[in-house]
C-alpha cells in the first residue's frame, strides 16, 4: 500500500508539472488560436535564466520574481515581433513558426549553456514522511505551487481590470477592438502570462529532471495530452488531466504489462487520440475558438 502511495505521489508531482506547462499552452491557444510548440523550450530558457541568477549568488526567492519578470517580457516580445506576423497566415504558418522557435531556442540554449547536465537547487525541504511511505516533500511543494498559480490566474482574470479586458478580447476580439481596447497589446500580454506560467513549470521540474536544453522535450508531449483533454480551453480540466496523466503513466508502467516502460510515452498519445475521437464534434467547435 505504501508503495502505491509513493508511486502516486511521484506521479502527482510530475503530473503537476505537465499541468503547469499545459496551462501555458491553453492560455496561448485561447488568446491566439495558436498551438505553441515552443512553449516547452521557452520554459527551459526561463529555467536557465533562473539558474544563471542563482549561480550569481541570488537567493532562490529573489531569483524567482526576476525570472518571472524576464519571462513575461520575453513572451510578450516574441508575440509582438514574431507571432504577430503570422496571425491570419493559416494553420501552416502558425505551426511552422512555433516549430522554428522551438528549434532555434533549443540550439541557442545549447550554444550559451552547452548540453551538459546541470543540477538545479530544490526550493523545498527535501524529505517528509507520511504514513508508511516517505517521499520527497518537493512532490507536495510542486502541487502547492501549481494550485497557488491557478488561484492567482483565476483572481487575475476574474477580479482585476486587466483581467476583464483580456477576457473581453478572448470573448470577441472585434467588439473589443471597437470599444477601444488595444487588442494587440492584450495578445502580447497573453503570451507573456503564458511564458510566466511556463517558467514556473520549468523551475519546478528542473530539480527533478536536471537542467539541460532538452529537458522539456519529453514533458511537452504529456502537456499536449493534458491540454487536449482540457479541449485547449478549460484550465481546470487541463490541470486535472495533467495530474491524472502523471499518475496514470507511472502506474501503467507497473501494472499494465504490455505497455511496460517501453511504450509509456504511448499513454499520452492514446489519451489524445481517444479524447479527440470521442468528442470530435465539440472539439471541432472549440478548437477553432
Partner 1 sequence: MSGVEVAGRTGHRRLAVGQVAGDRRRAWPWPRVTLAALAAAACLVPFLLEPYRVFQLTMVLVHGIALLGLNLLVGHGGRVSLGHGAFLAVGAYGSAIMTTSLGVPYPLTLPVCALLTFGAGLALGRPALRLSGPYLAVVTFAVAVVVPLVIKRFGTVTGGSMGLSTPVPAAPSWTGLADDQWLYLLVLAVAVAAFAVARNLVESRAGRALAAGRENPAAAEVLGVRLDSHRTLAFGWSAMYAGVAGTLYAWVVGFVSPDSFTVTLSIVLLAAVVVGGPGSLLGPLLGGVFITFVPAVAQRAGDAVPGIVSGVLIVVVVCFVPTGLAGLLRMAAGAVTRGTGRG
Partner 2 sequence: MTVREVTVRETTGPRVPARPVIRTAVSAALALVLALPLGGCRLTEEDDVLPAGACAGQQVTGISGDAIRVGGIYPLSGPASAYGLIASGARAYFGHVNEEGGVDGRKIEFVVRDDGYQPARAVEEARRLVELEEVFAIFQTVGTPSTAAVRDYADRRRVPQVFAATGASRWGTDWEHPWTIGYQPSYVAEARVYAQYLKETVPTATVAVLYQNDDFGRDLRDGFADAVRGSGVRIVAEQSYEVTDPGVQGQMANLAASGAEVLLSVTTPKFGAQALAVDAAVTSWNPLHIINSVAVAPAVMAGVDTGKVREIISAVYQKDAADPEWADDPAVAAYRASLRRYAPEADPAAQQAMFGWTAAQAFVQALKRMECPTREGLREAVRRLDEVSVDTLMPGITLSTGPGDGFPIESMMLARFAEGRWASFGEVVDTRAVFGPVRTAGSAG
User: Near partner 1 by CB under 8 A, which window of 14-22, 131-139, 240-248, 257-265?
Assistant: 257-265
- The 3-state DSSP class for residue 142 equals helix
Report if residue 277 touches partner 1, rule: CB under 8 A: yes
What is the closest distance, in whole angstroms, from the C-beta atom of residue 35 to partner 2 in the complex?
19
Report if residue 104 touches partner 1, rule: CB under 8 A: yes
Nearer CB in complex with partner 1: 149/271: 271
Task: Give the separation between CA 156 and CA 248, rounded to whole angstroms.
Answer: 31
b/e per residue, 146-169, with b = 16+ CB within 10 A?
beebbeebeeebeeeeebebbebb
Task: Give the separation between CA 59 and CA 255, rounded to whole angstroms.
Answer: 42
Task: Give the separation between CA 123 and CA 265, rounded to whole angstroms.
Answer: 28
Report if residue 99 touches partner 1, rule: CB under 8 A: yes
Report if residue 92 touches partner 1, rule: CB under 8 A: yes
For cell 476574474, what's the residue?
Answer: 158
Report if residue 138 touches partner 2, rule: CB under 8 A: yes
What is the closest distance, in whole angstroms, from the C-beta atom of residue 37 to partner 1 in the complex?
7
Task: Give the separation between CA 243 and CA 236, rounded to whole angstroms.
Answer: 11
- The 3-state DSSP class for residue 63 equals helix
Task: Give the separation between CA 265 and CA 285, rounded to whole angstroms.
Answer: 28
| E strand or H helix at 224 | helix 215-229
User: 182-221 mask for partner 2 (x: CB under 8 A)?
Assistant: -----------------------x-xxxx-x-xxxxxx--
Residues 107-136 that bind partner 2 (CB under 8 A): 107, 110, 114-120, 126-127, 129, 133-136
Contact 121, 207 (CB under 8 A): yes
Nearer CB in complex with partner 2: 31/120: 120
Report if residue 82 touches partner 1, rule: CB under 8 A: yes
User: Near partner 2 by CB under 8 A, which window of 11-19, 80-88, 168-176, 181-189?
Assistant: 11-19
The 3 state secondary structure assigned to 18-45 is HHHHHHHHHHHHHHHCCCCCCHHHHHHH
Task: Give the separation between CA 182 and CA 157, rounded to whole angstroms.
Answer: 17
**Residues within the interface to partner 2 (CB under 8 A):** 2-3, 6-7, 10-11, 13-14, 107, 110, 114-120, 126-127, 129, 133-136, 138, 205, 207-210, 212, 214-219, 222, 249-250, 253-254, 260-262, 264-265
Which residues make up the interface to partner 1 (CB under 8 A)? Answer: 29, 32-35, 37, 82, 84-97, 99-108, 110-111, 169, 173-174, 177, 183-184, 187, 221, 224-225, 228, 232, 262-263, 265-266, 268-269, 272-273, 276-277, 280, 283-284, 287-288
Amino acid at each position: 500500500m505504501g508503495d502505491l502511495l509513493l508511486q502516486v505521489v511521484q506521479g502527482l508531482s510530475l503530473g503537476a508539472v505537465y499541468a503547469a506547462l499545459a496551462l501555458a499552452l491553453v492560455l496561448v491557444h485561447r488568446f491566439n488560436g495558436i498551438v505553441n510548440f515552443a512553449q516547452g523550450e521557452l520554459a527551459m530558457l526561463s529555467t536557465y535564466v533562473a539558474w544563471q541568477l542563482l549561480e550569481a549568488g541570488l537567493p532562490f526567492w529573489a531569483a524567482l520574481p526576476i525570472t518571472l519578470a524576464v519571462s513575461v517580457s520575453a513572451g510578450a516580445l516574441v508575440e509582438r515581433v514574431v507571432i504577430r506576423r503570422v496571425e491570419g497566415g493559416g494553420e501552416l504558418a502558425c505551426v511552422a513558426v512555433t516549430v522554428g522557435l522551438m528549434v532555434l531556442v533549443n540550439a541557442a540554449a545549447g550554444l550559451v549553456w552547452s548540453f551538459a547536465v546541470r543540477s538545479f537547487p530544490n526550493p523545498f525541504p527535501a524529505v517528509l514522511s507520511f504514513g508508511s511511505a516517505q517521499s520527497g516533500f518537493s512532490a507536495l511543494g510542486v502541487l502547492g505551487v501549481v494550485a497557488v498559480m491557478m488561484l492567482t490566474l483565476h483572481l487575475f482574470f476574474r477580479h482585476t481590470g486587466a483581467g476583464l479586458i483580456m477576457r473581453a478580447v478572448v470573448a470577441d476580439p472585434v467588439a473589443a477592438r471597437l470599444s477601444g481596447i488595444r487588442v494587440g497589446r492584450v495578445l502580447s500580454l497573453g503570451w507573456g502570462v503564458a511564458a510566466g506560467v511556463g517558467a514556473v513549470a520549468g523551475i519546478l521540474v528542473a530539480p527533478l529532471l536536471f537542467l539541460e536544453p532538452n529537458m522539456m522535450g519529453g514533458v511537452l508531449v504529456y502537456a499536449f495530452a493534458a491540454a487536449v483533454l482540457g479541449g485547449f480551453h478549460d484550465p481546470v480540466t487541463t490541470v486535472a488531466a495533467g495530474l491524472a496523466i502523471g499518475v496514470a503513466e507511472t502506474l501503467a508502467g507497473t501494472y499494465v504489462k504490455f505497455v511496460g516502460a517501453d511504450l509509456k510515452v504511448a499513454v499520452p498519445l492514446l489519451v489524445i487520440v481517444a479524447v479527440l475521437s470521442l468528442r470530435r464534434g465539440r472539439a471541432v467547435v472549440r478548437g477553432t475558438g
